[in-house]
Amino acid sequence: MRFEGTDFTGAHAEGHTFLECALVGATLDDAHLEGSRWSECEWERVGGVGLTLAEASLADLTVEGCRLAAVSAWGSTWRDVTVRGGKVDFLNLRGARLKDVVFVDCVVVELDLQEATVDGLSFEGCTLQQATFGRGRYAGLDLSGATLRSPVGLAGLKGATLSRGQVIDLADAFAAELGITVAD
């Protein structure tokens, strides 16, 4: 199915399965997609505020040029997902399971990755503002291609990949989180 310019404001599709669907220029304001399953789908130029994807399953999904805000996707499972371009404000992926997920050339503001299990998540050419980490498993998290602004929970990033420049830029934040006083 192809949904072009469709307004799904306030839609309730909890627990539904979407296979080989395309949402193009659609609106997902206050859409309730808890526990839904998305497989081999694409979202292009989708807009939405207050989108709920809690405990949803996203597999082989492409999200391109979208403008989303207040996305609640805690406890969700993402596999082979590509997010390209656009902007996402307030993305809650707390406790999510992410495998082979890539964000490319986008801005993500207030990303919550606390308690997430990551097995392949990278940010290429992205800006992450106020990302929060902690108590997760980040063995496959690659932040080396991102610009990090005001991240929180850096001390919990065991297993993640950062560039040398990022480590130097974030040295004061690392020290503060570890309770280290840096004397000049």
Q: What are the residue ranges spanned by the domains of the chain? A: 2-177
Cα angle 96-153-168, degrees, rounded to a multiple of 5: 125
CATH number of 2-177: 2.160.20.80
How distant, in Å, are the alpha carbons of 5, 122, 156 from that of 80? 25, 12, 25
Tell me the whole-structure pTM to 2 decimals: 0.95
pLDDT in tens, the chain (184 residues): 999 999 999 999 999 999 999 999 999 999 999 999 999 999 999 999 999 999 999 999 999 999 999 999 999 999 999 999 999 999 999 999 999 999 999 999 999 999 999 999 999 999 999 999 999 999 899 999 999 999 999 988 989 999 999 999 999 999 999 999 988 8
Amino acid identity for residue 51 in this structure? L
